[in-house]
Amino acid sequence: MANPKETTNHSSKHSPDKKSSKFGADNAYIKYTGLGFQMITTILLGVFGGMYLDEYFEMSFPAFTAGLSLFSVIASMYLAIKELIK
């Protein structure tokens, strides 16, 4: 005969499985939102930093803007992939 203390009630509204899956979805949402903001911030810093350097050095061709924009996109993709692998 089964011990009454060992039996579980699966009809409870507050089962641990439902609670953990709800918080898991929230954590994933927060994780991916933060990742998006990190990518946008990295790219914008590269673009505006390049624009500033082009104006500072009075460049006729926006070399710093192009170079830092490309670098920041590559860096943000690297950081995103690195974070997603975790």
Q: Running DSSP on this structure, what letter comes out for residue 58?
A: T
Q: Are 65 and 76 in contact (CB under 8 A)?
A: no
Asked if pLDDT for residue 20 goes beyond 80, the answer is no
Span 8-25, mean pLDDT? 57
Q: What is the spatial distance between Cα 10 and Cα 14, in angstroms, rounded to a whole number?
A: 9
Span 7-30, mean pLDDT? 63
pLDDT at site 55: 97
Q: Give domain limits for the chain.
A: 41-86
pLDDT in tens, 26-64: 888 898 999 999 999 999 999 999 999 999 999 999 999
By C-alpha distance, which of 47, 48, 27, 36 is closest to 76?
A: 36
pLDDT at site 26: 87
Dihedral pair phi/psi, residue 3, rounded to 5° = -75, 125
Residue 45 in tokens: 């810093």
Which residue do the tokens 């903001």 mark? 37
